[in-house]
């Protein structure tokens, strides 16, 4: 019972890295001796100390004989930083409780094994599902090589996303757009299409001043980090004049054809083969995984939305529903041609339903 209280605290600490740790996981650590928390910490950024190191530094000598609660198996490898299991052993920690094993093949059980070999009492699995939720992106990439993909959609009650004229700003409320800023901020990358860039000329950045007050409080402005912007542009239609290439951070173009134009700093190209005349989305996702992208947040039109669903690369739908009717001439949520039988209709499960201002936000996952 007490163990759960400390692990819940470690999970809460880990959350504080949710905007900044990628490509690393979010990890929290709490060190307890004789019922007192003597050290705690979380991982903030790749290249900087891991959660355990921060907690051990705070605990100092009090770590001797203490229990360490960690949301992920302590690492056993020399990466950008030395192994945390060695640091825990050296500090004399006598028990380690991990919420889950680290699927990173460089670790994968070796951290816990090394601790056990050194005489530390070890257990894992406490609050594992909460720990899984915390790192959906990192865990999916480590297990499959693919990033976690969230498809964001915004629509009226009758599924309309734009009037026949193309007018679409704004269907959802300012509160929903603020919520989108928060979810963008937690993503490693934002994916869109050239069609969206040509139609709306979006910046696709996180604007700190547009985040809600709670998010701002846990994400100091000096830590602000822009998700990588990825634009699928098979026909090289986006130009160096578009706003997206003039924002802070990186923009990656996924192309099927050569492009020799001059681009501002921060712009690079991924060459992706075509499949039936279209850029191969599965190969794009594999390429993003190889480049250590943990999670992808998609903001695009109905064509890319439909193509991603058909390619089977969508892990989660985030749908904002505005209490309006756009009528039967409106444009729809996603282009999914050729569906004839109900049995072939893609199905989802509701995982979360939130009211956001006047709108609803629905979180769904594909039904198996
Ligand atoms: C932990 N605690 O706080 C983190 C862990 O390149 P490095 O040295 O930062 O190592 C990154 C890997 O270490 C990462 O892929 C994951 O397996 C583990 N991250 N482990 O025990 C932490 N950030
Ligand atoms: Zn570590």
ipTM score of complex? 0.87
pTM: 0.93
Domain boundary among 94, 113, 133: 133
Q: Which CATH number fits the domain that encloses residue 249? A: 3.40.430.10
Counting ligands in written order, the one closest to the CA of 55 is 1
What pLDDT tens digit does each residue of the chain (368 aa) get?
A: 699 999 999 999 999 999 999 999 999 999 999 999 999 999 999 999 999 999 999 999 999 999 999 999 999 888 888 899 999 999 999 999 999 999 988 888 889 999 999 999 999 999 999 999 999 999 999 999 999 999 999 999 999 999 988 888 889 999 999 999 999 999 999 999 999 999 999 999 999 999 999 999 999 999 999 999 999 999 999 999 999 999 999 999 999 999 999 999 999 999 999 988 899 999 999 999 999 999 999 999 999 999 999 999 999 999 999 999 999 999 999 999 989 999 999 999 999 999 999 999 999 999 98
Active-site residue flag, 52: yes
Between CA 25 and CA 326 the distance in angstroms is 41
Annotated binding site for Zn(2+): 50, 75, 84
Instruction: List residues near ligand 1 (CB under 6 A).
Output: 24-25, 27, 43, 46, 50-52, 72, 74-75, 79-81, 84, 102, 104, 107
Q: Which structural domain, as residue segments, surrounds residue 270?
A: 145-366
Q: Are residues 85 and 151 in the same domain?
A: no
- Number of domains within the chain: 2
- Provide the CA 142 distance to its chain's centre, in angstroms: 13
Hey, which of 24, 98, 141 would you mutate to test ligand 1's pocket, going by the most ligand atoms within 8 Å of its Cβ?
24
Tokens encoding 36: 């007192």
Q: Are residues 105 and 156 in the same domain?
A: no
State in Å: Cα 110 to ligand 1 middle.
Answer: 13
Q: Are residues 220 and 303 in the same domain?
A: yes
Backbone dihedral angles phi then psi of residue 75, each to the nearest 5 degrees: -75, 155
Number of the ligand 1 atom closest to the C-alpha atom of 75: 21
Q: How far is CA 356 from CA 212, 290, 312, 365, in A?
A: 12, 35, 28, 20
Neighbours of 8 (CB within 10 A): 16
Tokens encoding 82: 């030395």
Domain boundary among 79, 109, 133: 133
Q: Are residues 319 and 269 in the same domain?
A: yes
């Amino acid at each position: 019972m007490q163990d759960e209280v400390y692990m819940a605290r470690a999970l809460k600490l880990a959350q504080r890295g949710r905007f900044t740790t990628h490509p690393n996981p979010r990890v929290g650590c709490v060190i307890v001796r004789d019922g007192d928390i003597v050290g705690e910490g979380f991982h903030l950024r790749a290249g900087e100390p891991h959660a355990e190191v921060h907690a051990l530094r705070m605990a100092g000598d009090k770590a001797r004989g203490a229990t360490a609660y960690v949301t992920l198996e302590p690492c056993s490898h020399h990466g950008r930083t030395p192994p945390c299991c060695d640091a825990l052993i050296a500090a004399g920690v006598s028990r380690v409780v991990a919420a889950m094993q680290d699927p990173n093949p460089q670790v994968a059980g070796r951290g816990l094994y090394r601790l056990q070999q050194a005489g530390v009492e070890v257990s894992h699995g406490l609050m594992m599902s909460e720990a899984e939720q915390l790192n959906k992106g990192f865990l999916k990439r480590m297990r499959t090589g693919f990033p976690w993909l969230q498809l964001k959609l915004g629509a009226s009650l009758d599924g309309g996303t734009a009037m026949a004229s193309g007018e679409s700003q704004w269907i959802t409320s300012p509160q929903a757009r603020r919520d989108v800023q928060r979810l963008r901020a937690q993503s490693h990358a934002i994916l869109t299409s050239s069609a969206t860039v040509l139609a709306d000329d979006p910046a696709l950045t996180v604007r700190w001043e547009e985040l809600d007050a709670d998010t701002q409080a846990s994400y100091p402005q000096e830590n602000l980090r822009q998700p990588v912007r990825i634009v699928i542009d098979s026909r090289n239609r986006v130009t160096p004049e578009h706003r997206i290439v003039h924002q802070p951070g990186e923009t990656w173009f996924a192309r099927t054809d050569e492009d020799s134009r001059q681009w501002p700093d921060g712009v690079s190209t991924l060459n992706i083969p075509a499949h039936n005349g279209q850029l191969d989305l599965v190969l794009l996702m594999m390429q993003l995984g190889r480049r250590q992208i943990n999670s992808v947040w998609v903001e695009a039109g109905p064509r890319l939305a439909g193509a991603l669903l058909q390619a089977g690369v969508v892990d989660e739908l985030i749908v904002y529903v505005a209490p309006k009717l756009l009528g039967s001439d409106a444009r729809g949520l996603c282009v999914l041609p050729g569906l004839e039988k109900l049995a072939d209709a893609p199905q989802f499960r509701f995982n979360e339903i939130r009211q956001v201002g006047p709108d609803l936000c629905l979180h769904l996952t594909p039904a198996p």
